[in-house]
C-alpha cells in the first residue's frame, strides 16, 4: 500500500527564545492542517517524535500535548529514537495506516533546545550513545564523529579542505531556505579556522543547537488520491546497530544505513540511481561524506572528489541537503526527520523556490540516531 503525504508544515528553525515547546508544536500542526485543507476532526491518530523534552523543557507526555493543542481525543503518542525520532515517528504512522487502525495520521517532530546551557544540551544528547562505555569516559558526539573523520581521512585520503566543502555547500543552500537557522554563506577557510571542537572537527563542521517543529499528515492511498497534490511514500526501511561506536567493525561506514536503504529501495522497487534529491543526516560534516557513500549514491572513497566538483549542490548531478541540512537549516533533534520529509515534499511539488531541484520526481531521506545505532530511510515519489 502506498502512503500519501497530504499536508506539511514547519516553524522557523533557530534560537526561538520567545517560544516554548508547546508553541512550536502548535504552529507546525496548524500549518500542516492548513496545507492539507483539513479540519483537526479529520485526524485519526497523532505520533510525535522527540528525544529530550523532559530534560530540556521539563515536559514529558507530548502525546497528550499534541492532541490537546487540536482539542481532539484521538490516540496520540510520543516516540523516541535519538536523532532519528522524527523518522521513526513516520514509520509508526505508516504502520497505523497499513494496519487499518487509521486513515489519516498527523506526524510531528519537535525539540526546544536553547533554554538550557550548552553543557546540559551536550549531556542530554549523549544519552543517544553508550553511557557506560562512552558517556562516563567524557566522550561527546563531536568526539565520536571526530574519530570517524580521522579514520575516513586516513583510509581514503580525504583532505581537510574537501571535508569543509560540506559545510560551505549546506550554508549556501540554507540562504535559499526561509525557515533555516542560518542565512550566511561561509568559506573553506572559515570552516577550517573556526574553533576546534574535536580535532579535526571545528565549530563550523558541527550542526547547531536549534529550536523547531515540523509536521506532516499521512493518509491512506484511498484518501490521498482525493487530495490535490499528494506526495507518496513508496519505501520505508529501518536498521539498527550497536549502541557504542567501539563495538562496530568499521569506523568509516555506517552499516545500518546500507541495510536501511536496501530495505526502503526494495519496497519502492527502484534503484538508488532513480533518486533525484536526497536529504542526509549531516550532524557533522563527516556524516554527510559517509552517508552519500553508504547510501550507494557514489562509490566509496570518492566523496572528496564529488564535493570538489560541486556535484552535491541543488543544481548539481547529485543534489544533497537542498534545505541546508542539519548543519545550516538546524538540528532540533526530534524535528529533523520530519523536516527532511517536509523538504522532499516541497521539492517534489515544485515549491522549493530558489533551491528547487529541476524536474525532481523521486526523493529520499536519511535520518540517523547516535553514531549509526538507528537509521531510517524513506523514499518518496510524486
> Which helix (H) or strand (E) covers residue 324, if one does?
none
Distance from C-alpha of 50 to C-alpha of 171, rounded to nearest angstrom: 25
Region class of 312: left (phi > 0), else alpha (psi between -120 and 50), else beta = alpha
Q: What is the DSSP letter of 132?
A: T
Distance from C-alpha of 204 to C-alpha of 194, rounded to nearest angstrom: 6
Rounded to the nearest 5°, which phi and psi values hold at 97? Answer: -70, -45
Distance from C-alpha of 117 to C-alpha of 307, rounded to nearest angstrom: 34
Distances (CA, A) of 21 to 76, 112, 331, 338, 371: 17, 5, 15, 16, 26
Is residue 83 part of the annotated active site? The answer reads: yes
| The one catalytic residue among 171, 173, 331, 366 | 331
Q: Is the dihedral of CA 331, 334, 338, 342 positive or negative?
A: negative
CA within 13 Å, CB half, 65: 22
Provide the b/e sequence for 106-123 (b: ≥16 CB within 10 Å).
Answer: bbbbbbbbbbbeeeebee
Contacts for 359-363: CB closer than 8 Å, 24+ residues apart: 359/276, 360/276, 360/277, 360/319, 361/276, 362/270, 362/274, 362/275, 362/276, 362/277, 363/275, 363/276, 363/277, 363/278, 363/279
Residue 146 grid coordinates: 571526530
Q: What is the three-class DSSP state of 14?
A: strand
| The one catalytic residue among 83, 206, 283, 323 | 83
191: Cβ contacts below 8 Å, ≥ 6 apart: 164, 167, 168, 202, 204, 205, 285
Is residue 331 part of the annotated active site? The answer reads: yes
Catalytic residue numbers read: 83, 331
Amino acid at each position: 500500500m502506498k502512503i500519501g503525504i497530504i499536508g506539511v508544515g514547519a516553524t522557523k528553525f533557530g534560537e526561538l527564545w520567545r517560544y516554548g515547546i508547546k508553541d512550536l508544536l502548535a504552529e507546525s500542526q496548524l500549518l500542516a492542517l492548513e496545507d492539507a485543507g483539513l479540519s483537526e476532526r479529520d485526524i485519526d491518530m497523532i505520533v510525535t517524535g522527540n528525544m529530550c523534552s523532559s530534560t530540556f523543557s521539563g515536559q514529558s507526555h507530548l502525546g497528550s500535548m499534541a492532541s490537546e493543542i487540536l482539542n481532539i481525543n484521538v490516540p496520540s503518542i510520543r516516540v523516541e529514537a535519538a536523532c532519528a525520532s522524527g523518522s521513526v515517528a513516520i514509520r509508526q504512522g505508516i504502520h497505523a495506516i497499513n494496519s487499518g487502525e487509521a486513515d489519516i495520521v498527523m506526524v510531528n517532530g519537535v525539540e526546544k533546545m536553547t533554554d538550557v546551557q550548552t553543557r546540559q544540551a551536550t549531556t542530554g544528547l549523549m544519552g543517544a550513545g553508550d553511557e557506560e562505555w562512552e558517556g562516563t569516559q567524557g566522550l561527546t558526539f563531536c568526539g565520536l564523529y571526530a574519530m570517524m573523520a580521522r579514520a575516513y581521512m586516513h583510509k581514503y585520503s580525504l583532505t581537510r579542505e574537501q571535508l569543509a566543502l560540506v559545510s560551505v555547500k549546506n550554508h549556501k543552500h540554507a540562504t535559499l531556505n526561509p525557515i533555516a537557522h542560518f542565512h550566511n554563506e561561509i568559506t573553506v577557510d572559515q570552516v577550517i579556522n573556526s574553533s576546534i571542537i574535536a580535532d579535526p572537527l571545528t565549530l563550523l563542521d558541527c550542526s547547531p543547537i536549534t529550536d523547531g517543529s515540523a509536521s506532516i499528515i499521512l493518509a491512506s492511498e484511498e484518501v490521498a488520491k482525493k487530495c490535490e497534490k499528494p506526495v507518496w511514500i513508496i519505501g520505508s526501511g529501518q536498521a539498527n546497530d550497536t549502541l557504542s561506536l567501539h563495538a562496530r567493525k568499521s569506523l568509516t561506514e555506517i552499516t545500518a544505513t546500507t541495510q536501511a536503504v536496501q530495505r526502503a529501495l526494495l519496497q519502492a522497487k527502484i534503484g538508488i540511481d532513480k533518486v533525484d534529491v536526497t536529504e542526509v543526516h549531516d550532524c557533522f560534516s563527516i556524516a554527510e561524506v559517509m552517508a552519500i557513500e553508504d547510501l550507494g549514491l557514489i562509490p566509496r572513497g570518492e566523496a572528496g572528489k564529488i564535493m570538489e566538483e560541486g556535484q552535491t549542490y541543488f543544481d548539481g548531478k547529485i543534489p544533497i541537503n537542498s534545505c541546508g541540512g542539519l548543519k545550516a537549516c538546524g538540528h532540533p533533534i526530534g524535528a529533523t526527520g520530519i523536516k527532511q520529509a517536509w523538504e522532499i515534499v516541497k521539492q517534489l511539488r515544485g515549491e522549493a523556490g530558489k533551491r528547487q531541484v529541476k524536474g525532481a520526481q523521486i526523493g529520499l531521506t536519511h535520518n540517523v540516531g547516535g553514531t549509526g545505532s538507528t537509521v531510517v530511510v524513506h523514499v518518496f515519489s510524486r
